[in-house]
Structure 1
Amino acid sequence: MTDEGAAPGMLRPGGRTARVRTAVLRAAEDALIECGFDGVDLAEIARRAEVGKTTVYRRWRTPQVLVADLLVDMAEQSVPRTETGSLDGDLRANARLVVRTLTDERQGVLFKAVIAAATTDQRTAEALHRFYATRIDEWSPCVDQAVERGEAPEGTDASEVVRAVSAPLYYRFLVSGDPLNETVADESAHAAACATRAGAYVRRSAR
C-alpha cells in the first residue's frame, strides 16, 4: 500500500511514528483479548498505549480502522511457509501452524474476537478477508511446487488446497468445539493431500 490514499493508521512510517503504531496495535490487541470488539475504545487504547488521544484519533479515526490495521500487522508478522519438499509435508506443516495459532492462549482468543467483530462490521470483515487471502497466497506456492514435482495434477487450484487444509480446523475452533491438536492437524492435511492427488481441486477450465 502506498502512502497516497492509504487509510489512516495504515502507513508504514519509521522512527517514533512506528513505535507509536506498535504500542497502539498492542494495546488494541490486549483490549480485544480482554473485552472483545466492544472494548476497543480509542481513548482507552490511547491510555493503554501511553500516547496522546489526539494522535490515536487522527491516525485511526474509528475502532474499525484500528482493528483493520491490526489485521494488516498480523498478516505481516505471520510465520512464513515451510517447504519440506513434499506435498504431504508442506500441508502438514501448514495445518500444524494453524492449530498452534488457534490453540495459543493469546492468539486463539484474539482470532475469536476479530472474527466475531467481522460478523457485524463490514470494514473489519474486509480486513479479515485480506488477512486470510495473504496467508493463502503465502502457502499456495507449496502446492504449485507439488504440481511441478508431479505430486498433484496439472491445473490444481493451489488456493483451494490450502483452504481445504484449514477449513476443518476452523470448524472445530468456531463451531463444534471438538479438540484441536497435532493429530487433528495431520488428519486434515492428509485428507487434503489425498483429495489433491485425486484431482478434487483441479480447476474446471483445466479438466
Structure 2
Amino acid sequence: MSTEKHGRQVGRGAKVRTAVLAATLAELADHGYAALTIDNIARRAGVHKTTIYRRWKDRESLVVDVLGEQIAVDIPMPDTGSVDTDLRDIARAFVAWVTSPAGQTIFAAIFSDAARIPGIVDARRQLFEEGPRRASSAISRAVQRGELPPDTDAEELIKTLIAPLYFRLAITTEPLDQAAADHAARVALAAARAGALSSTNTNPQ
C-alpha cells in the first residue's frame, strides 16, 4: 500500500475504524465541523475514502460515531469513603475532561452546525444524562454511610454539581479549573445536606 500525507496506510477491521475515528476527531479539532471532509479524514487516517464510505455513509454518521465513543470515555468514578472528596474528585475529573483537547473538540462539535444532526442530539443527551447515572453510585454509598439524607436524589445532586461548571464553559467563559470544581462540589454538597435535593423536592407529584 502507498504512504499518505499523514502516515502509512493501515490495515482492515478494527485498526481502520480506530484510525478513521482518530482522524475525524483530529480534523474536527484542527478545522471544525464546517470544514470537515471525507477526503481530509482519509488522508489523515491513511486510508482510501472508499474504505470510509464502506463503513460510514457520510461525514454526519462519522461524527456521530466519534462523539458516541468519546462521550463514553470513562471518567473515573471515585470511591474514597467520603462524599466530600468523592464529589470533589468527580467535579475535578469533569473539568479535566472538558478542558482537554478531546473534550474541547467534542463540546465545540455538539454546539456547532453539527448539532442539527439527530444523532448529535442523542450524543449530547447521552453526555448530560449518562454521566449523572454513572456517578450516582457514589451518592448511594454516601446515603448508606449516613453522610446524606436518605431521600437524596442522586442524579439531581450530580446535575447540581456539574451545572455551574457547564455554565462557565458554555455561557460565561470564566476560568474552569480545580478551584471552580471544588466550589461546585461544596455548593452541591451543602444543598444535598440541607434537603434541597431530596427526591420529594426534585420529583414533585
TM range (shorter): 0.7 to 0.9
Q: Quote the offset at 1:32 in angstroms.
A: 1.0
Aligned residues with identical type, % of pairs: 38
CA contact (8 A) 1:165 1:188 kept: yes
Match of 2:178 in 1: 182
Query: 1:26–1:36: structure 2 CA closer, same or farther, 3 Å change rule?
Result: same
2:189 equivalent among 190, 193, 200: 193
Separation of aligned partners in 2, 1:70 and 1:94: 23
Where 2:13 maps in the other structure, the secondary structure is: helix
From 109, 114, 117, the counterpart of 2:109: 114
How far apart, CA to CA, are the structure 2 residues paired with 1:42 and 1:78?
Answer: 28
Instruction: Extract unaligned runs of 5+ from structure 1.
Output: 1-14
CA RMSD of aligned residues (A): 2.0
Where structure 2 has 5 or more consecutive residues not aligned to the other structure, the ranges are 1-10
Kept in 2: contact 1:169–1:188 (CA 8 A): yes
Mapped partners of 2:31, 2:44: distance in 1: 14
Secondary structure of the corresponding residue to residue 39 of structure 1: coil
Residue-by-residue CA offset, 1:95-118 (whole Å, 9 max, x unaligned): 1111112222x1343133222235
State the shift of 1:24 in Å.
Answer: 0.7
- Say which SS state the counterpart of residue 82 (structure 1) adopts: coil
**Does 1:73 find its partner at 2:66?**
no
What is aligned with 1:6?
none
Measured after TM superposition, the shift of residue 141 of structure 1 is: 0.4
Contact map agreement 1:96 1:185 (CA 8 A) in 2: yes
Q: Which string of whole-angstrom CA distances, capped at 9 and with x for unpartnered residues, describes residues 182-202 of structure 1?
A: 111100001001111111121
Larger radius of gyration: 2
Matched, 1:30 2:29: no
Alignment of 1:4-83 (within 5 A): 16-83=12-79
Could you say which residue in structure 1 is the equivalent of 2:3?
none
- Please give the per-residue CA displacement for 1:1-59, whole angstroms capped at 9, x wherever unaligned: xxxxxxxxxxxxxx941111111111111111112111332232122111121221121
TM-score (norm 1): 0.84
Superposition misfits of 4+ residues, deviation over 4 angstroms: none
Paired residues of 1:83 and 1:142 also in contact (CA < 8 A):
yes
Cα 1:206–1:128, aligned 2, differ >3 Å: closer, same or farther?
Answer: closer
Q: Which residue identity is paired with 2:108?
A: A
TM-score with structure 2 length normalisation? 0.85
1:71 touches 1:131 (CA, 8 Å); kept in 2? Answer: no
